[in-house]
Amino acid sequence: AKSLSAAAKEQGFLACQICSRIYRTPKLLDCLHTFCLECLRKQVPPGAAKFVCPTCDEAVSLEEKENGVDDLRDDVFMDGLAEAFKHQQGLKETKDMAADIMGSVCNICPEKTPAASHCVQCQDFLCEDCSKIHHRTKYTKAHRVLSLKDFKFLRHEENYQQRARQMVACPKHDGEYLKFFCDSCQTPVCLLGLFDEHKDHKYSQMKDIVSKTKMVIETFLRSTNDQIRAFESAMSVVAEVEKDKKSQRENAEKEIMA
């Protein structure tokens, strides 16, 4: 049986009708049509009081939207489907990658013999004979050469760790990730949480919160660096003054001793 996200993709439910790509930051219009935020930004001029839905031509008012299309409702359901599809695609790519590794051929010998190992430093697949030569050659004998099985495991772990760093699992709902931030409760929440204990609460997307926090930190660091430079400049002035005083004292002592 096909998954919900795969079936939705095939029928076009997950594809923005403007860019024809999987939804990125989907926004829900009053007419219930959904589009990527970036696509709407390109379609709607800044400061516009209204615009027409690209699909049904229904007028969409922006009069009470201070930030224009950015303030339109997030389509959390479609965003959840899109994220689920991307996650499944990541798993599929990992399986495809593993199959490609086990079917690799030697990058060194012209016969294209089936590979038996992989050199981490050279990024080359090696057959058994080339692998032995690799271990004996002066410039490559210290290289890390892995069997295809070990290399496949390494690549799988790297791929998994990369996905894990990008998504934090929700401790309350299995299989869900903390992709939103409840502004009312000041806590990260998953998609199901928005329809459960945080229903009707004001929320933001986690990536937007991260971007804002990053800007605050960068501003703070710039301010701190300015203060550090001012302090170093002041210390330099103090050091020059002390140097002048020392020089004056030494000159005075010399005059007294003369």
- Check: CB of residue 8 under 8 Å from CB of residue 88: no
- Check: CB of residue 140 under 8 Å from CB of residue 111: no
In Å, the largest CA–CA distance within the chain is 105
**pLDDT single digits (tens) 166-206:** 567 788 887 677 888 888 888 888 888 888 888 888 888 87
pLDDT the model gives residue 4? 44
Above pLDDT 90, what percent of the chain? 14
Q: What does DSSP say about strands 180-182 and 145-147: parallel, antiparallel, or unpaired?
A: unpaired
User: Helices then strands (H, E): number in the chain?
Assistant: 7, 11
Q: Which of 36-40, 100-104, 113-117, 206-210 has the highest mean pLDDT?
A: 36-40
Residues 233, 238, 242, 247, CA torsion sign: positive
pLDDT the model gives residue 188? 87
What is the reported pTM? 0.40
CA–CA distance, 15 with 36 (Å, rounded to integer): 9
